[in-house]
Structure 1
Amino acid sequence: VIVNPNQPDCGFPSKHLAGVGVVFYVLLALRAELRRRGVFDAQSQPKLDNLLDLVALGTVADVVKLDANNRILVAQGIKRMRAGRMHAGVAALFRVAGREARNASPFDLGFAVGPRLNAAGRLEDMALGIECLTTDDEGRAWAIAQQLNEINLKRREIEADMQDTALLHLDDFQPAASSTIAVFDEGWHQGVIGIVASRLKEKFYRPTITFAPGGVGLIKGSGRSIPGFHMRDALDLVSKRVPGLIDKFGGHAMAAGLTIKAEHFDTFCEAFEAVGRAWLSEAQLERVVETDGPLEDEFYSTQFIELCDGQVWGQGFAPPVFCDEFRVMSQRILKDKHLKLLLEKNGRRYDAIWFGHTDGLGERARVAFRLDANEYNGVTKVQLLVEHAEPA
């Protein structure tokens, strides 16, 4: 039996379930069937709601669209985490990441818990991550979480080095003259190329594929895309136009993987770029920051932030981003890579930070931002997390 909500004629309304969601519904159906056969009654049946923390984690970490159904699954899982009712491994991963499970959010699952689990599969053996989630022994869970944290630190170091190398490869890259990016380096690690592709895609806003050595005479690529460019379909077209060029490929609209012979790299770059030119207009290669417009002064408050944080935001259901004009009172660079700002509007001043950016702003700036509650020395203040800024 194949259970897949995307099969033709499947009446299940939610088509964006992650694998973990599909399995959860299979278990619900199995339990109902066993109940019907008299194996147990409603009182003695297995409790499945205690799996919801894993369902939420898998749904967020798999970056599937948070449609109404997935938001319910994630909300229920997060509710359990905040109440302290979660698997020992999930609790240990929160602790090792320095995050508070009582304030759990989809952001924590996607950027703190998920990457630590995934690092095992990228660099070593995924069995470690699986044991972390399935053990009931808190001591064992904590020991594995610390191991996973170490592997993740190693993954971040490898990623930073690879990113620096990638930028050297792209030193003379002219975005205006190219619709796509494809980069290969002999020294790269297969397990991390997808993350590097993702970072380059963010920086240059082009469909990007990064390649690493993949066995004798082969290289493996991992691609990340932008809206309007279906990565898997693009690879399919390349393989049809140049038969034999791609050994194997697979994926979906926003991410895909492939294997080619090392000697075919240049040919692949040309064929991939040709598809990019045919499919993407200049307008599609311009990054668009969608915002909810300006925010009235009284909503720059921790209470409003709490209200927003109570919702489940994520893929396909983005958190609100506001946009307004501010006077730039001061700006300095933090840790060589982040811009710390003091902004002023209508006589009120706000701390702001623009992660990963060091270019200064002029006296006045148009800023797209999210609201964040920053706790320091027991005092909670409103902080603006800058998504984009430009001179006003």
Structure 2
Amino acid sequence: MKAAPRLVRRASADVSAWPDNFPALLARLYAARGATGMEQAQPKLASLLPPDLLDGMDGAVALLSEAMAADRHIVVVGDFDCDGATACAVGVRGLRLLGARHVSYAVPNRIVHGYGLSPSLVEELAALKPDLLVTVDHGIACHAGIEAAKQRGWKVLVTDHHLPGESLPPADVIVDPNQRGDRFPSKALAGVGVMFYVLLALRRHLREAGHFADAVPDLTQLLDLVAVGTVADLVPLDTNNRALVGAGLRRLRAGQGCAGLRALIEVSQRDASRLTAADIGYAVGPRINAAGRLEDMALGIECLLVDDLPRARDIATTLNEINGERRAVQQQMTDEAERALAVVSLDDTAANRSAFCFYDDQWHPGVVGLVASKMKERLHRPVIAFAPAEPGSDRLRGSARSIAGFHMRDALADVAARHPGLIERFGGHAMAAGLSLPAASLPAFERAFAQCAERWLTPELLEAEVVSDGELQSGELNRRHAELLRDAGPWGQGFPEPQFDGEFEVLGTRVLGERHLKLELGHAGLRLNAIHFGGWEGVAPRGRVRIAYRLEPDDYRGGDAVQLVVVHREPA
């Protein structure tokens, strides 16, 4: 039941706006992604959208500046993923930079408190005696928790980027580019980006009020964290987000990142001077996320707040070990999902399913999102993976991943509207969402979700595609062009990393780690090394193959070596 992807080439675009002396390959790639100049391809911070376009910003600045002036206790409430952790660190570091003297942070434990600012977390926060809560990367769906905080007399500022429900929570102020009617042109800000924007507006207000006797605090030192959270949360890298991520990457490459990120880059065995958005997505972000998945995200946030490098290295080592445990748990759960799929496949109608749900009463709720992602890639279908909210619980937590053309949060809203009471709570985005429901409701939910998918998905949407930027000429299959591609980013969601296709002769193969395939390929007189992660299917390819691939510098071999990273392979 593995979806066989179809290899298609991206439509060519007009490159006439690019100067003749600009690298032809980059002009072709940038134009195909809608960029007509460097101000769009590699935007600078000067091009950032202004903070005052965000609704609620004046109220947010007033809340924060009044709390700071009165030396009130501000508690930044984070979330248990990488975006939430970096947003929390940006909030704490930024408020302290701007002069706040009484700033703390808190983060829910996934098992103990559930998602976001819940009533149980509010009860625990009472010991801190906060005056103002600032939620980051959540809050727009935390009605009960915010109501509980308000009943205690606390002020609440929500900074979030998730889509709101039918009603807004009773917070004092909400800053969320995705709330209805918001004027901010970019709806792609991550939670960490929203918090950074709040700090930009607060700094301007404090500067105009004569608050800074000496130098105005430099908030660009927070952009390393903004870049990591933005990339890890898989939000589209539109022009505004690329400006933020590009600036953050430049800081990290220059060795100017915070101690925790430098330590995480080290333990990930990445070269900071050559760091890419892909390195953040595949190496740095998962190690931060691991704390919230299996342990307590407070450890991840501590890593991002500590300034002592030896201490940061100790925490990063622990996070690396937790990430190793996470990988083992994820592999076990994914294997179990594969076995469940094999049983389902015995039903002839299974191949026609438009969506899938997976559940095991022994699964860990912190890892179901990764299982859903793996199975979504495997099937090219919307997938939701469920686990008990805690061991033995009769409540399930689900994590959903979608495919292009199927808006996951809207789908859950449709199910909730057609079947009142079936879902207890839900929230999220187009491509990812979360939900909770009683275990007894799972069969009914699965039917309702499948019916929604059948209504919304067309055969064309269910056909997986691998999109290529066309062929590379033999003179482009070299180190110079590989480095050019690496440094031409940031690449990511909405501004995809270039990948190419072509026919090659298989000159040799070798299996690595039982799952991966190392290849030696021939093309136009060249001998090229290639790696296909997860590409071993039991039989070595022979003769000629057509592959889609990324061209990367081979830093392990050094010198002029390059490597083709295969993302798709089929007979020529």
Fold equivalence (TM over 0.5): yes
Paired residue for 2:442? 265
2:66 maps to 1:66: no
Cα offset, 1:263, TM superposition: 1.9
Relative to structure 1, is the Cα distance of residues 199 and 368 closer, same or farther in structure 2, using a 3 angstrom cutoff?
same
Structure 2 residue corresponding to 1:237, chosen from 395, 410, 414: 414
- 8 Å contact from structure 1 (residues 239, 246) kept in 2: yes
Q: CA deviation at 1:272?
A: 1.1
Tell me the secondary structure at the aligned position of residue 318 of structure 2. helix
The farther-off stretch of 23-32 and 129-138 is: 23-32
SS at match of 2:175: coil
What SS is found at the alignment partner of 2:424? strand
1:361 is aligned to 541
What is the SS of the residue equivalent to 2:427? strand
What do the CA deviations read for 1:71-120 (whole angstroms, capped 9, x no partner)? Answer: 01111111111111110001000011111111111111111111111111
Q: State the percentage of identical aligned residues.
A: 51
Residue 386 of structure 1 pairs with residue 566 of structure 2: yes
Task: After superposing the two structures, state which structure 1 stretch, 207-216 or 190-199, moved more.
Answer: 207-216
Alignment partner of 1:203 is 2:378:
yes
- Residues 283 and 124 from structure 1, CA distance in 2 versus in 1: closer, same or farther, beyond 3 angstroms? same
Which residue of structure 2 aligns with residue 33 of structure 1?
205
Alignment equivalent of 2:521, drawn from 343, 353, 369: 343
> Which residue of 154, 171, 182 maps to 2:342?
171
Corresponding residue number in structure 2 for 1:180: 355
The SS at the match of 2:497 is coil
Which residue type is aligned with residue 31 of structure 1? R
Q: Tell me, what secondary structure is at the counterpart of 2:536?
A: coil
CA contact (8 A) 1:361 1:390 kept: no
Secondary structure, in 3 states, of the residue corresponding to 1:283? coil
Q: Which residue of 2 aligns with 1:249?
A: 426
**1:188 and 1:81 mapped to 2: Cα distance?**
36
Q: Describe the superposition over 1:97-152 as per-residue Cα deviations: whole angstroms up to 9, x where unpaired.
A: 11111111111111111111111111111111111001111111111101111111
1:4 positional shift:
2.3
Query: For the residues of structure 2 that align with 1:176 and 1:204, how far apart are their CA atoms?
Result: 10
- CA distance in structure 2 between the partners assigned to 1:136 and 1:272 by the alignment: 47
SS in 2 for 1:49: helix
Q: Alpha carbon RMSD of aligned pairs, Å?
A: 1.5
SS state at 1:26 partner: helix
Amino acid in structure 1 at the alignment position of 2:530 = A
1:304 equivalent in alignment to 2:481: yes
The answer on whether the counterparts of 1:228 and 1:280 sit within 8 Å (CA) in structure 2 is: yes
User: 1:378, CA displacement in angstroms?
Assistant: 4.2
SS at match of 2:367: helix
1:200-235 per-residue CA deviation (whole Å, 9 max, x = no partner) reads 111111100111112532211111000111111111
**AA at the equivalent of 1:276:** A
Alignment partners' CA distance in 2, 1:228 and 1:378:
42
Return the TM-score normalized by structure 2.
Answer: 0.66
Normalised TM-score (structure 1): 0.96
Select which of 294, 312, 317 maps to 1:123: 294
The question of whether the paired residues in 2 share the 8 Å contact of 1:207 and 1:225 is answered with yes
Distance 1:377 1:177, change over 3 A: closer
Q: Is the 8 A contact 1:67 1:317 kept in 2?
A: yes
In structure 1, runs of 5+ residues without a counterpart are none
Return the offset for 1:259. Answer: 1.4
Amino acid at match of 1:177: N
Deviation, 1:338, is 0.6
3-state DSSP of counterpart to 1:290: strand
1:108-147 alignment to 2 at 5 Å? 108-147=279-318
Q: Equivalents in 2 of 1:363, 1:113: separation in Å?
A: 38
Cα distance in 2, alignment partners of residues 109 and 144 from structure 1: 18
Q: Using the TM superposition, give the Cα deviation of residue 8 of structure 1 relative to its aligned residue in structure 2, in angstroms.
A: 4.5
1:326 aligns with 504
How far off is 1:189 after superposition? 0.3
State the one-letter code of the partner of 1:13.
P
Output one character per residue of 1:39-59: Cα deviation in whole Å (capped at 9) or x when no partner: 226x61111111111111111
Q: Which residue of 2 aligns with 1:274?
A: 451
For these two proteins, the number of residue pairs brought into alignment is 391
2:217 maps to a residue whose letter is P
Q: What displacement does 1:11 show?
A: 3.6
- CA offset digits 1:279-317 (Å, max 9, x no partner): 112221111111111111111011111111112101111
